[in-house]
Amino acid sequence: MKGRFLLFFIISGFIFFSSVFIGPELIDPFSMDAIDRKIVLTIRLPRVLVSILMGAALGASGAVLQGFLRNPLADPYILGLSGGAALMATLSILLGSMTFGLFTIPLFAFIGSIVTGIIVGFMAYRRGGLWPERLLLAGVGLGFLFSAVLMLLLSISSDEGLRRAMHWIFGDLSMADWSLIPYGLVIIIIGLSLSLWRAKALNALMLGDEIAYSLGFSPYKERLILFVSVCLMTAASVSLGGTVGFIGLLMPHIVRFVWGADSRWVIPLSAVAGASMLCLADTIGRTVLSPMELPAGIITAIIGAPYFLYLLRKQDILGR
């Protein structure tokens, strides 16, 4: 077990480190000149940090959602949060609104996610608590609605606005900037801390409401706290770099297969695995077709979808 932990963190650390120096042009970390240092500090390092934050938030959110919804196919975006964020961000792009400078698109995206989370939570609230089935249905319904409105906006937009919006929607991290990192970091830390604080309760919820009650946990209260943590992490992730799929769905399954189902380990390890996955995907996206870049969300889908189908076939993740 210790060997697996050590190997996992060595590989993750290597991915984080190498992503800073691998790009359209390779940079030797031991012989950088002034131009290389400027490229690393102003372009690549903030981009890598944003991918780490986004991947960690999505990985941890997926682990929490799959636990308290008791649904192995749950994903951070299943609650419609990404749809609300994408709609608001795209609206700001198409309208050409830059009232808050670089913060405009992330701010609109964050507001869209939080408002969507509030609506979903309100629709799922019944008899003093959040009901998992209503939470899923409300999220899926709102997600379809937002997607329809988003497609309508894109279909009537100009070519320039359309291209920029589409890149953001598919997880374009090229807009990463140092000024955005502190705000995303604070929100993600708050959400991750909440989920880790209630990790024992999440273990109980995974066994059923009756067992959770018998262990002294209130399922409705715990779901509300965990739901807030997921909303914060997902909203911050989407606001930093757009929508990136499969990380929140796939990473928790891999972690559970290797280290077991204890949420006290699954949540932080899923965060590290998600950060590594997105870092790797972004590095591939900006190097494989250089000088053209592919959004990281496309790379994660290309890598994640086949591997998820493999897990579905070989590991029986549905538990049947």
Say what the pLDDT of residue 1 is. 65
Residue range 49-91, pLDDT digits in tens: 999 999 999 999 999 999 988 888 888 888 888 888 888 888 8
Say what the pLDDT of residue 161 is. 66
DSSP string, 195-261: HHHTHHHHHHHHT-HHHHHHTT--HHHHHHHHHHHHHHHHHHHHHHH----SHHHHHHHHHHHHH-S
Say what the pLDDT of residue 47 is. 93
Domain ranges for the chain: 2-314
Say what the pLDDT of residue 124 is. 83
Say what the pLDDT of residue 150 is. 85
The gap from C-alpha 74 to its chain's centroid, in whole angstroms, comes to 13
Q: Among all chains, which residue has been given the structure tokens 């994640």?
A: 304
One-letter amino acid of 194: L
Homologous superfamily in CATH for domain 2-314: ABC transporter involved in vitamin B12 uptake, BtuC (1.10.3470.10)
Map residue 8 onto helix, strand or coil. helix
What b/e readout covers 248-287, taking b as 16+ CB neighbours within 10 angstroms? bbbbbbbbbeebeeebebbbbbbbbbbbbbbbbbbbbbbe
Residue range 227-273, pLDDT digits in tens: 899 989 998 898 888 888 889 989 999 999 889 889 999 999 999 99
pLDDT in tens, the chain (320 residues): 677 888 899 999 999 999 999 888 888 888 888 888 998 999 899 999 999 999 999 999 999 999 988 888 888 888 888 888 888 888 887 776 666 666 777 888 888 888 998 898 888 887 767 778 888 888 889 989 998 988 888 787 766 667 777 777 778 787 788 888 998 899 999 999 999 999 999 999 998 888 989 999 988 889 889 989 998 999 889 888 888 888 998 999 999 988 988 999 999 999 999 999 999 999 999 898 877 888 888 899 888 888 778 777 765 555 54
Q: Among all chains, which residue has been given the structure tokens 């997902």?
A: 234
Say what the pLDDT of residue 102 is. 67
How far, in Å, CA of 241 to CA of 281, rounded? 13
Q: Which two tokens stand for residue 14?
A: 């290597």
